Amino acid sequence: MLHDRIESVKRPPSNLEHDRARDSQRISDVQQSVLKIEGMLREILAAQGRFESQFCQPPQRTVFDVGVNHGEDSRFYLDKGFIVVGIEANPIIAEELKSGFAADIAEGRFVLLNIGIWSDEGTLPFYRNLANDHWSSFDKNYGCRDGTPYEEIGVPCITPEQLFARYGIPYYLKIDVEGADRIILQHLAGRADLPIYISVEEYGFAAIDDLNKVGYRYFKIRPQRRKNDFALPYPAKEGLFVDRTFTGRDSGPFGRELGGRWMDYTTARKWFIENIRTENGTYIGPSDEWYDVHATTELAPSST
């Protein structure tokens, strides 16, 4: 009996047991193959996204950069594949921009206009601030602030209606012109074909009120010094992906690439008064910070 038991241990497993072990190994091999294929597909899709983001041209949308200054924003928009119409009233800076953007201008991707945008057409006095060119303005209170030195020159101006009639309605309208933000917004009122996205430098909660009167319903309020707290998404949600570190001299991301959630008018106004500037105009935000107000007409904007 003991001999029989020993022999049974020495014998190989039955065909049934062998088949089960073989099938189990095959199943394991198939599962491993599926995992490898899924990994390869993920890599292919990621590579495709990188390729499209880097090399495929987005739809030819236009951005209006109203207040180009030294061109940091215009360069960002151009690198992302947008056509840019830039408005710069300061003739000294405009000459510098013509040289720095010569290739983009020659290719027809960048239209630079050395004019101002105002409520009336004509040549108006422009107060070119000699201490800080960003303060230059058609409004003397802005252009000569804090007793800084300035130069008064004449600059031709057109109205917002004339600008839109000549170049159409942009996808995104960036407004950063000292003292003229409200004028441009007033001239947008009543239009059915508003830019989908718009931004202005805050001038109190009235900036949100004015945007809402024009027809904008969703808002984001973004710091201008600490813009890098919101990283650009990858793949890009606006145009092409651009690896960009922002500074205090540019306006930063826009549209679908802004971080955070869109707020409705009531929520945005309340948040602004509680965190940035009170109803009587007192600034309560960080001492070294300033803000832009972004808005959109989209009925269901993305949360990011």
pLDDT in tens, 193-202: 999 999 999 9
Q: What is the pTM of this model?
A: 0.78
Q: What is the largest CA-CA distance in the chain?
A: 118
Same domain, 32 and 163: no
Find the CATH number of the domain harbouring 93: 3.40.50
Query: Do 18 and 141 fall within a single domain?
Result: no
Query: Domain count of the chain?
Result: 2
Question: Do residues 135 and 127 touch, judged by C-beta distance below 8 A?
Answer: no
Q: In this predicted structure, what is the pLDDT of residue 6?
A: 47
> Does pLDDT of 76 surpass 90?
yes
Q: DSSP string spanning 247-298?
A: -TTS----GGG--S--EEHHHHHHHHHHHTB-TT--B-S-TT--EEEEEE--
Whose structure tokens read 């239209």? 111
Per-residue DSSP letter, 14: P
Structure-token pair, residue 101: 């953007």
- Say yes or no: 191 and 213 in one domain: yes
- The dihedral sign for the CA sequence 32, 38, 42, 48: positive
**Residue 9: CB partners within 8 Å, gap ≥ 6?**
none
Residue 42 has pLDDT above 60, yes or no: no
Rg of the chain taking only CA atoms, in angstroms: 29
Looking at the structure, do residues 131 and 278 belong to the same domain, yes or no? Answer: yes
- What whole-number distance in Å separates Cα of residue 77 and Cα of residue 244? 11
In the chain, % of residues over pLDDT 90: 58
When pLDDT is averaged across residues 4-25 and rounded to a whole number, the result is 61
Confidence of residue 45 (pLDDT cuts 50, 70, 90): very low
Same domain, 33 and 91: no
Residues 28, 70 within the same domain: no
Name the 3-class secondary structure at 227.
Answer: helix
35 pLDDT more than 80: no
pLDDT at residue 113, as a whole number: 98
CA distances from 129 to 73, 145, 148, 176 (A): 21, 9, 7, 16
Residue 235 or 56, more confident: 235
Examine residue 116 and state whether it is found in any structural domain, yes or no: yes
What is the pLDDT at residue 34? Answer: 63
More confident residue, 271 or 145: 271
Residue 11 binned pLDDT confidence (cut-offs 50, 70, 90): low
**137 within 8 A of 67, measured Cβ to Cβ:** no
| Whether pLDDT at 268 is above 70 | yes
- Predicted pLDDT at 194: 95
pLDDT, residue 231, reads: 79
Q: Which residue has the higher pLDDT, 231 or 102?
A: 102
Report whether 63 contacts 199 (CB < 8 A): no
Q: Is 93 helix (H, G, I), strand (E, B) or coil?
A: helix
- Do 121 and 239 reside in the same domain of the chain? yes
Tokens 């500037």: give the residue: 277
142 pLDDT exceeds 90?
A: no
pLDDT at residue 52 above 70? no
Tally of residues, the chain: 304
Same domain, 213 and 198: yes
Alpha helices in 201-262 (DSSP H): 206-214
Measured CA to CA in angstroms, residue 267 lies from 15, 57, 90 at distances of 73, 37, 37
| Residues 139 and 177 placed together within one structural domain of the fold | yes
Looking up tokens 């919101």 gives: 230
In a domain, 66, yes or no: yes
Whose tokens are 């030195």? That residue is 149
pLDDT at residue 63 is higher than 50 = yes
| Lowest-confidence pick of 86-100, 171-185, 204-218 | 171-185
* Residue with the larger pLDDT of the pair 295 and 59: 295
Are 136 and 202 part of one and the same domain? yes
Closest to 129 (Cα-Cα) out of 110, 101, 107, 149? 149
| 301 lies in some domain | no
Question: Is 50 within the bounds of a domain?
Answer: yes
Q: Indicate the range of 142-146, 156-160, 252-256, 262-266 predicted with least confidence.
A: 142-146
Do 193 and 212 fall within a single domain? yes
d(CA 23, CA 30): 10
Which domain, by its residues, includes 106? 59-296
Closest CA to 225 of 247, 258, 202, 252: 247
Question: Is 80 part of any domain?
Answer: yes
Q: Give the other-Cβ count within 10 Å of 141's Cβ.
A: 10
| Amino acid residing at 85 | V
Binned at pLDDT 50, 70 and 90, residue 53 comes out as very low
Residue 1 — very low, low, confident or very high, per pLDDT cuts 50/70/90?
low
7 is a domain residue: no
Encoding tokens for residue 186? 């007033």
Question: Are residues 65 and 45 located together in one domain of the fold?
Answer: no
| Residue 220: count of CB within 10 angstroms of its CB | 21
Average pLDDT over the chain, rounded to an integer: 85
Per-residue pLDDT, 199: 97
**Residues 207, 93: Cα–Cα separation, whole Å:** 27
Q: Report yes or no on 302 lying in a domain.
A: no
